[in-house]
């Protein structure tokens, strides 16, 4: 036989009371947002709230706009760069050759000792 707890499986606020117990809901407006993958998101906002121009699509994560004919373009992703690619951006080939010669000179000098 189960325990004698009569409210087992329920939570506070659950039940037939409804809005009379919780009060009236704020007036809301539903705004549609469209992403470039064709998804439509319709969040609801309070009537007096500032409506954002863009919203993140919950299905694909791309930005969504309010214009269904011209949704925002997906953000351009930069390819992964290695450490060497970043170094090559900062240094010219001549600088790299000079640094290599300096390092090799120090290495040869330490081996002669």
Which residues are documented as binding site for Zn(2+)?
35, 39, 57, 60
> Residue 55's beta-bridge partner residues?
64
Q: Is the dihedral of CA 48, 52, 57, 61 positive or negative?
A: negative
Task: Give the rounded distance of the alpha carbon of 61 from its chain centre.
Answer: 7
3-class SS at 109?
Answer: helix
**Binding residue ranges:** 35, 39, 57, 60
Q: Which residue intervals of the chain are DSSP H helices?
A: 19-22, 83-90, 93-112
> Residue 64's beta-bridge partner residues?
35, 55
């Amino acid at each position: 036989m189960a325990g004698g707890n009569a409210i087992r499986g329920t939570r506070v606020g659950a039940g037939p009371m409804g809005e009379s117990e919780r009060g009236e809901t704020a007036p809301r407006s539903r705004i549609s947002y469209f992403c470039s993958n064709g998804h439509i998101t319709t969040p609801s906002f309070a009537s007096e709230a500032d409506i954002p121009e863009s919203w993140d699509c919950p299905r694909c994560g791309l930005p969504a706009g309010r214009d269904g004919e011209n949704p925002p373009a997906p953000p351009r992703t930069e390819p992964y760069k290695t450490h060497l690619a970043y170094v090559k951006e900062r240094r010219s080939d001549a600088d790299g050759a000079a640094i290599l010669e300096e390092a090799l000179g120090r290495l040869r000098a330490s081996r002669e000792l």
